[in-house]
Structure 1
């Protein structure tokens, strides 16, 4: 077994979930991730915890969904009961065919998401983490060799997470004190939203491995403007390209995509909350330096911004602030490395992918580009 697999398991058990003696642990993984599951069991056994594995079978899931009627999907009470008895959940991604569910009717996908919502809510009460095991299928989607993809995955995972978290805290502090955020990129993105009173997450690799983003939930009624996402969105095995969303009073009132627009429409029709924004995330992991069409990595890249359509993050929304509820939480991603900036209360904190505390940050934009000048309020 590759030593990096055992190191990956060590990080998941000791750092991400801090598994202790007596913990009940659920490992949910597909068969291509068997090496990682074996390494996890070895590490979990050393901790005196009690694991069980739910082997995911995308082919079986496809067959089941195609045979079901949409109205017959319901919450699986036995799965819900098991989740209520679970302390730790480790979710592993590893594709053998990333498009396995692409020919399942969208209405069934929506029905399945709604049925799983109570189980998802219980899982969020555990100590959980989602991660990636490298496979040839995912390497192919990333347009990398199998070896290069493995190097990329482990290079993003095995990092100085204490140092990463400290660096990200500067941006988290800026957002925590802020009322308004504006995103501008090229001629097709100008989006404004309120984060007043919301809490900011500093994702230093606890619930996502790799981590590397700062995120919060906006007021769901505050989002105004238009935004274009130039990184593909994958939904139920379908690739959706060049997504454009127009918001009025927080709601998507118009949308388009150059490929699979029907799948985008289906996502937005899941429920009322699917047309609103549940998350604003800013990528900060400089160890992730290229788009690979894998959202777990791409959303952490240091020159990207993402919104999540659907459910807000509970840890970001105080009890006295509006919370967007939905059965979906779908991240859509934009590259902000060129002709772009992020304003926080009128001050630019990032321009062309560089933050104000980085050497690459240009305080003086080209004439006609951007409305704000340098940053002073958040400088040390």
Structure 2
């Protein structure tokens, strides 16, 4: 894959360090990625030094996952990397740069995956607790790789351009652009936080939930890059109705299409997929997955196509998504699970969102002029 232009890498690193995690002098930043992302990691390290911080990183190599899958014992799957453990418990900032070699690796044996989940559970809980109150400032982002471009059905050049436009790196001042997003979305969030009952409706879905004691959050690029969404964690026993997710959902390299969920009093009663039913069935055997941890609305209209990468796809302007499993503590959510799996529904063709029985969103757009009326 061609190395992105240095100007874009410099803007990207500056945005991640100085806006997304807002690194301060003396703070420790942990970066995890792969060796494919070396150009961006170097730029991040440079920006961390300029900010007066300390930067350590862990980079996966090609073939590492395959080796573990072939030779790893349950004890080795359950091993918690020392630096990762310390960073999640003690560091002030964390950037996860996804730069995969391959997106179609088969999962390990179920007992090995279970051993890993159990071993990581304490850190999983710590991560959600520390990111909820920003003791751990984190950002997830992408470095374009051939595997990501292939998955998205784009050339490597097209995909690189797609990533950088979605992150607003094509603008002279990306930070200012994201501050504009923050201001626009805050008006939406302020209105949503004045309501308690919500309903998503389109030609194949009608699902409702409440948010008493919860709050909607303005996702303005500080915890994910790119961002562009507003989200909450619904009251766990309040979700009722049917929702159809027409965008494919990817889990452990497996594609699940056409998911329909039937929900009563917060619990998913039945599930059906047009393809990938086995993956869906296996997921709903995991503790906490039969309740929702998130309800959200995507607002990033620069993400103009589906890429099979949830960090981007859940932000598509004109869509809503709901996630089964782990809630967001910062939104007031209480559901716990090792899984947080987002699924996306198109709202551009007649979709509506109601808040306290008022239509606030139609055909993929918020009706800003009506909010508060």
TM-score clears 0.5: yes
What is the CA-CA distance between 1:296 and the residue it aligns to?
0.7
State the alpha-carbon separation in 1 of the partners of residues 48 and 155 from structure 2: 31
Q: Unaligned stretches of 5+ in structure 1?
A: 359-374
Listed as ranges, the matches of 1:308-327 within 5 Å are 308-317=323-332, 323-327=334-338
Q: How many residues align?
A: 355
Q: For 1:110-130, what per-residue CA distance to the aligned partner results, in whole angstroms no more than 9, with x for missing partners?
A: 442343232233334111100
CA contact (8 A) 2:188 2:368 kept: no
2:164 is the alignment partner of 1:147: no
Partner of 2:148: 138
2:372 is the alignment partner of 1:378: yes
Partner of 1:330: 341
Aligned mate of 2:89, from 74, 84, 93: 84
CA contact (8 A) 1:303 1:352 kept: yes
TM-score (norm 2): 0.90
Listed as ranges, the matches of 1:45-60 within 5 Å are 45-57=49-61, 59-60=63-64
2:190 is the alignment partner of 1:173: yes
CA contact (8 A) 2:231 2:297 kept: yes
TM-score (norm 1): 0.88
Q: For 1:253-293, what per-residue CA distance to the aligned partner results, in whole angstroms no more than 9, with x for missing partners?
A: 1111122211112222121x111000111111122121111
CA contact (8 A) 1:113 1:328 kept: no
CA contact (8 A) 2:149 2:155 kept: yes
Aligned mate of 1:300, from 315, 319, 331: 315
Partner of 1:42: 46
Once the two structures are overlaid, the 10-residue window that deviates more, 67-76 or 16-25, is: 67-76
Partner of 2:25: 21
What is the CA-CA distance between 1:206 and the residue it aligns to?
0.2
Aligned mate of 2:119, from 115, 123, 138: 115
Q: 1:300 to 1:42 in 2, by over 3 A?
A: same
What is the CA-CA distance between 1:27 and the residue it aligns to?
0.5
Once the two structures are overlaid, the 10-residue window that deviates more, 121-130 or 89-98, is: 121-130
State the alpha-carbon separation in 1 of the partners of residues 202 and 125 from structure 2: 35
Aligned mate of 2:219, from 203, 207, 222: 203
What is the CA-CA distance between 1:70 and the residue it aligns to?
6.0
CA RMSD of aligned residues (A): 2.0
